[in-house]
Structure 1
Amino acid sequence: MPEPLAPAASLTVDATRRRQMVMDLWVREVRRRWAARPYWVLMAGFVTLLVVHRFLVVAAVVVVLLAARILWWWTRLTRTLGRRLPDGQLVSVSRTADDQLLIRDSDEVWLPRGSAVLVERIGSMTVVHGRAISAYVPSALLSEADAAFLEGHGASAPAHETTEAAPDLPLSVELTPQVQAAMVAARRRSYLRSGEFGIVVAPLVMLVALSAFLAKPATTLLVAVACCLPMAVALNGMQRSCAALRRAYPVGHTLRARVDEDGLVLTMVHGALRVRWADYEAHRLGPRVVELRTRKGRPLRNLTLPLELFTPEAFQLLCTAVPTSF
């Protein structure tokens, strides 16, 4: 006789539970980063030694930098989980009619079988490393059968009885090479025009110009070569973001969506997620794309979508919810 399916699992997050989740993730972060060896701290200590020639000062600098970095990890995790799992937030894991796991907290994520590369249990928190969409779930809600299902080597259906309807996604567009190229070009253009990139470029240009007027040609050349490093890092970040965009929206994929007053549900290659208008402060209309600017002002985190995905009614909902153009 087959084992009966379990009902949808749910729990309410409180401050104590969230602190434990933060602690578990923080300990994992410290161990993982420490194993990767903090070469940047050692380099800072070496530079300090060249300047002051005192080992006690060098040790103090290294300790302060390490403590600041560790404190930053704690602060970042606390802020992230506090926004995602505030006090009183109900978190649930359920099954849809088309055999997907629906993970619902302040966001909603639909994950089919095989959508995760790894399901990593870290004490009270489980991290689903998705092929396209990742999720943080309290470990008490995600069984071993659920983890096996997400990783693709478990049963053909998650071990929950069907409690949710499959998401209705009436909007669709096929991602052609032209559509993908337009999305990537919009992402690249948005970054190169942004203040974030300008903050990197402007001081470097001023430094090289000042060296040209005040220093010898050899010194100016060395300064220019040194300035190429932060510029290369900034451009590499842009290229990585564009590559991630291509992976998220590959050619041949049919992108489907549903738009409402709160946001939109968007399919990726492996799964679907809810995007909330509240996370964005402005939109920009391009020839073939529409961009939504994140409230954090990070152009490489903007949401870029093909304009062909939207009907006039759906686009009007977007403009009403995110009215300011940038």
Structure 2
Amino acid sequence: MSTAAPTTGRDTAASAPASTNRTGGRRRRPSPLTYLSSLHWTSLLYVAPALAFFGVFVLYPIGISVWYSFYDYDGLTVGTPVGWGNYTAVFTDSQLRAALLHSLVLLFFYAALPVCVGLLLAGAMSRIRVYGLTVFRAVLFLPQILSSVVVAVAWRNLLAEDGPANAVLRAVGLGRFATSWLGDFDTALPSIGVIGSWVEYGLCMVLFLSGIVAIDRSTYEAARLDGAGPVREFFAITLPALRPQISIALILTITFALRNFDLIWNTTRGGPGTTTTVPSLYVYQDAFQNRMLGRASALAIVLTVVILLVVVVVQLALREREGPRRRFTGPRTPARKVHSS
């Protein structure tokens, strides 16, 4: 009868997987070159149409914009190199600084307020069980799927001096507050902000509802057994679990606030005066009205960099920390001492 030969340490090390560390440490990550060598290049044929579309309609225009930003170019004659002159004009123009300040004001209405309202609605809907709740959710999400032009025209008529909003104020005896909301220097920018809040809160609500559905129900049951109420459940369980959805909602809403153009153009066109001007509005005016394509390109590049920086900051601030989540266990109580008889 044959017996198996004893294995040596060298044989054991040779038979171990290549990705396992001999010292028992962590597995080494494959290098990028190893990943590229194992990639089946034929699979790129399936994404080639999408890559071509992305390159022609996204990467190429960005490259052309960067090239134009270093020239004094009107789109017709030969451009004159100006170096960093267009970028210097962007950062030294007082009107552009005022437009950037307007965008910061709109961040409250377009990002902070919709996220808060979306959290409130999502938290309430997750606890309410009534007939027709699905239809109610669809109605609340409706502003997000409407065209910006339709939204702008509807609200422009609603907030007109002889519009329904002022008619309601006069009917309830508050006629002294009636005004041309989009034509007044004091109320134009907040009115634009309210319109943006109405458009964006539906998106935030749907994102938060999808996150609440994924939360383990047993966590809520344990919290109720420990005496937690609805408010404590929301801040101890729901809000921490919705960190990824909050990050996505903030990125989408902040991007919409900084690049917003069509909503403002179709309501106030930056007026009255320059009270509702934003950087994207100056990009359009410099490019298509003033024939200053170089400066418009520089402003567009600066605006893109600002949006990317804001997105990175939001992701770093709200990224989920590594490690297991703590389960809600309620308030801690001192352990009882057991006395033996």
TM-score over 0.5 for the pair: no
Tell me the TM-score normalized by structure 1: 0.29
Tell me the TM-score normalized by structure 2: 0.28
Structure with greater helix share of residues: 2
Structure with greater strand share of residues: 1
Query: Which structure has the larger Rg?
Result: 2
Higher relative contact order structure (alpha carbons within 8 Å, sequence separation ≥ 6): 2
